[in-house]
Structure 1
Amino acid sequence: MMNLVFLVEERSMKELLNGILPKILPKAISFQIIPHDGKSDLQRSISKKMAGWNVPDTKFVILHDQDSADCKELKQKLRRIVEQTGKEAVIRIVCRELESWYFGDLRAVSLAYNENLEPLAKRKKYRIPDEIGNPKEELKKIIPVHQQISGARRIGPLMNIDANTSESFRQFVQGVRHLTKKDLT
């Protein structure tokens, strides 16, 4: 049985993935999510965790926020770290921050907080979720009661995997699906 290990920046990403991965992964694939204390901790941890991981049939997925970094440079930096381990990983960059993915599915956010936010998707500012300057701050303005970890728990299970308008979310889902199909064929 294939096992996927997700190395993520923080606990809120872990909580979101717990809500969405069962919708993405075939039942025959198990997964484990290892949260870190921010991007520096994640980057320091990658080589140790991957090099020391000796469980057969394990594949890795690294999920890192872009924040203000250049996407291509960040991905190359992570790829160099992974290459040192002699193992492979799917690397996905969350454009800006995790909250961009929430703006990609305002229906899920609406359901999670019992507030109709779907009309916001028509506004120019929110049309392309990955281009929102500070999505965490924007979400806090719209939903003042939103907390990162509990919000991820609330929103994740409600997300529609195939209808999210965030390109980085779609790339993440596509990468995970591609990784698992290779092993199932």
Structure 2
Amino acid sequence: MHFEILVEGQTELTTLSILMDKIVGQYNVPHTWKIHKHQGIGRLPGNLVGQPQKNDRTLLHNLPSRLRAYGNRMGDQEIVVLLLDLDDRKDCVAFKNELWLVLDSCEKKPNFLIRIAIEELEAWYFGDQHAIEKAYPDYNKKVLADYIQDAQCGTWEQLAEAIHPGGLKSLQHYGKRSIRILEEKRKWAAKIAPHMNVEKNKSPSFCCFRDGLRRFTLNSH
């Protein structure tokens, strides 16, 4: 099975580049994958069958055209995997249904898997607190103890409070989407993901991602 994985940005690319062989096995033995990062999540275009704007590199804006292209060339041993953050959306099912409509707009439909990190990808790290402890031995124990798994609670901010020198306060003035914050998130991914045990992760949204990929590997030939 070959996975074409669409993600929001560099943090997800860094994380999955480390975790994929833990989830589906060593690259090319026999499964393969390619991870495509974008410039944030963006929003779906009003016209799902129109051409995307060339200067918009966000994931959702380009999703309809990418699915059409994949549908025209992909075989039954290939699948598009869409990984998004739920962020502050209140209804995960409604969000998923909106995304399935994009597939419905394609004349030729590729295999398609939608997975949503709740609230954000950083929830996956909280799902393996031992990995956080190994990557950041001086972590704030109270923050980890108080965290409610996969809660919509400002997840990356909680992680910053737990592991970043000076806590969240030292980063807040940069703004959530600033280059500095994105770079810090990438660094956290690079340090924590190598220590993660994908079999024992306590994040429901991570387990859903892991098991979704594995189901397709079991059906491949």
Secondary structure at 1:19's aligned position in 2? Answer: helix
Tell me how far apart the structure 1 counterparts of residues 132 and 111 of structure 2 sit (CA, whole Å): 34
Amino acid at match of 1:173: R
- Tell me how large the CA RMSD over aligned residues is: 1.9
TM-superposition CA deviations, 1:35-66 (whole Å, max 9, x none): 11111121112222222132543211110100
- Once the two structures are TM-superposed, the CA of residue 110 in structure 1 deviates from its matched residue by 1.2
The one-letter amino acid of 2:64's match is S
CA distance in 2, matches of 1:91, 1:182: 18
Show the counterpart of 2:11.
12
Aligned partner (choices 8, 24, 48) of residue 65 of structure 2 = 48
Percentage of matched positions with identical amino acids:
29
Q: Helix, strand or coil for the counterpart of 2:36?
A: strand
Normalised TM-score (structure 1): 0.89
Q: Per-residue deviation at 1:32?
A: 0.4
- TM normalised by structure 2 equals 0.75
Query: Which structure has more RCO (C-alpha within 8 Å, separation ≥ 6)?
Result: 1
1:135 equivalent in structure 2: 155
Q: Which residue of structure 1 lines up, in the alignment, with residue 191 of structure 2?
A: 154
Match of 2:220 in 1: 183
2:99 is aligned with 1:91: no
Matched pairs, number: 180
Contact 1:90–1:175 (CA<8 Å) still a contact in 2? yes
* Contact 2:88 2:152 (C-alpha < 8 Å) held by counterparts: no
Label 1:60 to 1:75 Cα distance change in 2 as closer, same or farther (>3 A): same
Q: Note the alpha carbon deviations across 1:15-47, whole angstroms, 9 max, x for none.
A: 000111011113201100001111112111222
Distance in 1, matches of 2:218 and 2:203, equals: 23
Matched to 2:199, the amino acid is: D
Distance 2:41 2:103 in 1: 15
Q: Deviations over 1:114-155 (max 9, x none)?
A: 33667765x3x32x3201500100111111159111211111
In structure 2, the partner of 1:36 is 38
Q: Partners in 2 of 1:171 and 1:77 — Cα distance?
A: 19
SS of 1:130's partner is coil
Question: Which deviations, in whole Å up to 9, do the C-alpha atoms of 1:63-121 show, x marking residues without a partner?
Answer: 01001112011111111112223223110111110111111111111111233667765
Which residue of the partner structure matches residue 22 of structure 1?
A: 21
Looking at structure 1, the residues matched to 30 and 220 of structure 2 have their Cα atoms a distance apart, in angstroms, of: 11
Secondary structure in structure 2 of the residue aligned to 1:38 = coil
- Are 1:58 and 2:78 an aligned pair? yes
